[in-house]
Structure 1
């Protein structure tokens, strides 16, 4: 399974290499080196996360393994059908789907001059899928791209998408520093959490008592 996944990733990377004028031979060698490095780095990173976060992978924790939850829910949906979805879930899906199409149509109709002021629905949806900490990666990455364009615009235009894809997929801008800070016992001064209306009412009642 892992070999097939790696081969599939490489076949997709060849398209990126074609767009960035990269050598296929260099990409293949880089894939071999990266796979070998992953055999060493991945266990070390997992050990770091395991030591830093005692509730790693637990639903409701800081790192609840969202992909596992997504695939589990997809399996339940495939077996039980739409009846397994929460109430009004489909209506929300229809509404956001229509809103995304409408925003994209407006973005395409306005042209480049004004379209850059309209947010991308895909970028807005990613934090809901992956997690709110992803916004830090996007903010830092946008700052890097902004400085890069000021220094060398041609290279930024050519390699910006490839570098951004690596940073987003690797998710290493904030996740690893966060794990290191947690490992040494540094806690954030403010903790924010969004609760459901019922849970929030219970919290307010508890605090009021």
Structure 2
């Protein structure tokens, strides 16, 4: 496609499409289409969840009112939460710290910008935390629309910064930080809701669970930051070793709004794709993520989905299908977790040695390298099939 064109197709300015590699075509064109589809899918997901949001706020307000009115009433152990005063003071301290500490939103010297950022974090987090915890409690963690919430936060924050004239690199970093904080808050809210639901079924004390959640968040934040810094030092984000497509998407959204540099025709194509998915009753956000992800990342996801569909269709009963699905998710989660830990270990070696380990590579296979890789992938699929279908 494009072989008859004699001039580059916008937004590319120098190369013709036939001269581009698949990766370059994704960078110049497909990622913008995917970004538009993901943004539209996220917004559509939020719109579809508006009734849940309204119901969540209504129930939350009723529960808050009941707690304030019955402050002197003895509460059962299994319904004892952290005092509202502790939660309120803690939230106020966090917002104040974001506004006062200079480097929370990047190298910001302006207190006004930090204050606006802190207020935006408080507003978006308040809304999206409520929605996230409610959806996870009702449906499950897989239904948590974190991507949609993050994109909505980035679009709203970037638009406000554009109106205020904060379009330089400092404004971009601040907008990115706000989106990250909101995304983390929504994710933790969903996880906490799941934990509290499990604790309720087991008869745990919510207050003690919440204290444990705070300790866990502080601990994980420390080690996650160290791991991210290590990966950045070893490889650098956006490289072939660490493409970071989600981070790239956030960068595209922020720069597109603040600099008005997006190729809107390509973004519009992505929006139309998301709308078409909704018309055909296909979940737009997962489909859009598939459009945006690079082919190397998307292919195993697609084949894994086909394998799951095959195993569920061949199941003799709904119970068997559910069991196979759970086994597959468990095995896949283990592989992802193991790969992540191994990747951090390799990054540590790369950081200490100054370069990434070469590994075996595929040079020894010569022209048969693609077939060797395909064979390894087939073996992995067979392992999944056997693990999901075995009776024990």
Q: Aligning the two structures, in what range does the TM-score lie when normalised by the shorter sequence?
A: 0.3 to 0.5
Normalised by the length of structure 1, the TM-score is 0.48
Tell which structure's C-alpha radius of gyration is larger: 2
